[in-house]
Structure 1
Amino acid sequence: MDIRHLRSFIMVAQCLSFTEAAKRIFIGQSALSKHIADLEEEMGVELLIRHHRSLELTAAGKTLLRESVNLLDRVSDIIEKTRQADRGIRGSLKIGCFGGESAFFPYALKRFHSLYPQISIDLQLLTLRMIETALESEELDLGFVVILGNELKPNKFMQRLIYRVPLCFLMPSHHPYAGEPSIDIAALSNESFILLSAAESDEGIKWFNAFCEKRGFLPSISTTTTRMDGVLWLVEAGFGISFWSKNPTLTRYTHPGISFVDMQGKEAYSNIVAQWKKNRHNPAISLFLNMLETIDKSN
């Protein structure tokens, strides 16, 4: 059934005049008459009783008028929703996070929902390796990861720097250096370090080893774990020293048994980076990233 024929029928049924209906929808009267005739033939019913100077709807015509108005309203709604989805205003966005975004992410989610309430968010808290795997398999649209150092290197994903903060050491509060404002890592050359495992953060371990080598030693990595909360527990228990982004959320809520000491060095930075697959064409990705540009991420 041609939607144009339904629109023509609705106008004729409302005007009960081919002449008036043709004027309103800007087509010729003969073309309009053919639309109605084609519709009647397709449906196998008579829709109009044609008097000499007037028209009258049949019972079938009255039913079609009522149902057609509802149908065309639905069609218009479908078209608008489709256009919104194309612009990213409607749809869904699957996001993977590792937990280091907590300084700004709750507000970011609230802000995005207020701007685009028709976009549903599927938020998953994952390890860094799981985020990479899920992006590759397209189980995620957008992932947030941490990359260490003062520059981003190209990789297989599209990426955008969201937030850069200095690194700090995490050490037991009874450690001799716990009260220092900052130290060079060379002063910790004899310490044992706790890091995220190579299975989860291979690049992180490579960066840390290279960072220490530039200062004349190879670090002793005594313990690894797959989660940052595991790192915090091990540090507090006295198993060694670690490091992490110096963000307010970390320093505000961590247990009092851990002290934070700034890490010296121009490369001692942590970067929270958004990543997405190059051919992942979800318009909501750019909407979310553009929104992040407008908010304060330092709180």
Structure 2
Amino acid sequence: MGVVRSATHGVLTGLVGPFGERFPGVSLAAREMNSLAQVEALGAGRLDVGFLYLPPDRGPGDLEAETFAEEPLVAVLPAYHPLADSRRVRLDAMFGEPFVVADRAREPGWNEQFREACKGHGFAPGVAVETTELLVALGFVAAGPAWRCFRPPSAT
């Protein structure tokens, strides 16, 4: 099975235990993969199941898709940020902030969902960095204003 990184923190943990109890003779081989790679591997028969963000421009075709879980959008802010101590941060309060987001080329579904959420709050996000690596994203956030000189990748 293919799994996007975010699924390993909740969705997968709630699934593996009950699956193992119900099917004790079945072994699982899980592989962390971005959504686009999972769609391709599922289509080619290299995966039996995938937990992913379905890309909006690529329907499942011969694949059966089902919403398994929904995740909240979470803001990660440097400690000195004025909103860092807030228990909840409204998305529109982030207008004008530089965003570090999932790479559009590898996670088009997540990226599109994020952009649509911002649009629903009346703004287009200023994307400064796109990455699929959580530690890279956290590093840019921790660096704060020092990385704001980076420009977003050109839209394709």
TM-score band w.r.t. shorter chain: 0.7 to 0.9
Query: Using the alignment, how far apart are the partners of 2:98 and 2:138 within structure 1?
Result: 14
Q: Determine the structure 1 residue equivalent to 2:67.
A: 161
The answer to whether structure 1 residue 123 and structure 2 residue 30 are counterparts is yes
1:123-202 to 2 correspondences below 5 Å: 123-146=30-53, 155-156=59-60, 157-202=63-108
Pick which of 98-107 and 190-199 moved more: 98-107
1:45-84 to 2 correspondences below 5 Å: none
1:131 is displaced (CA, Å) by 1.2
In structure 1, stretches of 5+ residues that fail to align are: 1-94, 241-299
SS where residue 70 of structure 2 aligns? strand
CA contact (8 A) 1:127 1:227 kept: no
Q: Determine the structure 2 residue equivalent to 1:108.
A: 15
Of Structure 1 and Structure 2, which has the larger fraction of its residues in helix?
1
Paired letter, 1:121: L
TM-score by length of 1: 0.42
1:103 is displaced (CA, Å) by 2.0
Query: Using the alignment, how far apart are the partners of 1:107 and 1:215 within structure 2?
Result: 32
Residue correspondences, number? 142
Paired letter, 1:131: Q
CA contact (8 A) 1:97 1:125 kept: yes
In structure 2, stretches of 5+ residues that fail to align are: 149-156
Pick which of 155-164 and 184-193 moved more: 155-164
**Larger C-alpha radius of gyration, 1 or 2?**
1
Runs of 4+ aligned structure 1 residues displaced above 4 Å come to none
Deviations 1:201-259, CA, capped at 9 Å, x for gaps: 1232233233323333221100111223332232223257xxxxxxxxxxxxxxxxxxx
Paired letter, 1:235: V
Paired letter, 1:128: S
Paired letter, 2:111: I
SS where residue 96 of structure 2 aligns? coil
Of Structure 1 and Structure 2, which has the larger fraction of its residues in strand?
1
1:198 is displaced (CA, Å) by 1.1
Query: Using the alignment, how far apart are the partners of 2:18 and 2:109 within structure 1?
Result: 32
Query: Using the alignment, how far apart are the partners of 1:115 and 1:217 within structure 2?
Result: 47
CA contact (8 A) 1:209 1:219 kept: yes
Query: Using the alignment, how far apart are the partners of 2:11 and 2:122 within structure 1?
Result: 36
SS where residue 127 of structure 2 aligns? strand
The percentage of aligned residue pairs carrying the same residue is 22
Q: Given the superposition, is the C-alpha separation of residues 107 and 210 from structure 1 closer, same or farther in structure 2, using an over 3 Å criterion?
A: closer
Paired letter, 1:174: Y
